[in-house]
Amino acid sequence: MSTAPRYIPRYTLDDYNRWEGDWELIDGVAVSMSPSPFGPHERVVSRLSFEILSQLKLRHCSCEVYTNLDWIVDNHTVIRPDLMVVCGEQPERHLERSPVVMVEVLSEATRERDLTVKRTLCLENDVRHYLILDPSDRSILHVTGNDEVAVDAAQPLTLRLDDQCEIELDCQKLFQ
């Protein structure tokens, strides 16, 4: 066993901004993004985006849906969720405050990170709703504060986004 000290670099937002390719930065550690997702993953993201946008327009909410937008959590953490909902003032570049809703659709390449690190980031940064969708077993986990609820896909899911806006999602449509 080597007695040489291990060097583990800790990157910053400035470093991240110079990188080419698709990366996330989690507590200063560079994480390569997986190759583009497979069909079932993208179908779920697309359907969820449509469901949320439809509800936002129907209810005249001052919120927007973003897919593939970077969320700059802090100087050492930048992630790119599958989907975010942002209410109020909208970002011109990357999101630099917590979204109201963050969604990850599980895949084999991202499952562990989505269930652990990103869940913790949502809790630590007051993301009101963290939804974890699993196309393989057609399940939805809804994380709010310290509560974690398995959503019955046969029932609508109600999300209060702010004092003015509440949406209701038809979960069965997401996995068709």
Do residues 87 and 165 lie in contact, with contact meaning Cβ atoms separated by under 8 Å? yes
What token pair was written down for 174?
């997401």
User: pLDDT (tens digit, 9 = 90+) per residue, 107-152?
Assistant: 888 899 999 999 999 999 999 999 999 998 889 999 998 788 999 8
b/e burial code for range 15-24 (CB count within 10 A of at least 16 → b)? ebeeeeeebb
Q: DSSP secondary structure string, 41-53?
A: HHHHHHHHHHHHH
Asked if residue 158 belongs to a domain, the reply is yes
What token pair was written down for 149?
């609820």
- Cross-strand pairs, 104: 132
Model confidence at 153, in pLDDT bands (50, 70, 90)?
confident
Asked if residue 120 belongs to a domain, the reply is yes
CATH assignment at residue 146: 3.90.1570.10
Asked if residue 7 belongs to a domain, the reply is no
Residue 167 is inside which H or E element, if any?
Answer: strand 165-169
Asked if residue 140 belongs to a domain, the reply is yes
Asked if residue 12 belongs to a domain, the reply is no
- What are the strands of the beta sheet with 147-151, ordered from one edge? 63-66, 83-87, 101-105, 129-134, 139-144, 147-151
Residue 136 lies in domain? 37-72+80-175
pLDDT for position 40 = 84
Q: 118: helix, coil or strand?
A: helix
Q: 176: helix, coil or strand?
A: coil
Average pLDDT over residues 85-98: 96
User: pLDDT (tens digit, 9 = 90+) per residue, 15-40?
Assistant: 999 999 889 999 999 998 877 778 88
Q: What rounded mean pLDDT belongs to the chain? A: 92
Residue 113 is inside which H or E element, if any?
Answer: helix 111-115
Asked if residue 13 belongs to a domain, the reply is no
The number of distinct structural domains making up the chain is 1
Average pLDDT over residues 159-173: 92
Asked if residue 15 belongs to a domain, the reply is no
Asked if residue 114 belongs to a domain, the reply is yes
List of E strands, 27-126 = 29-32, 63-66, 71-74, 77-79, 83-87, 101-105
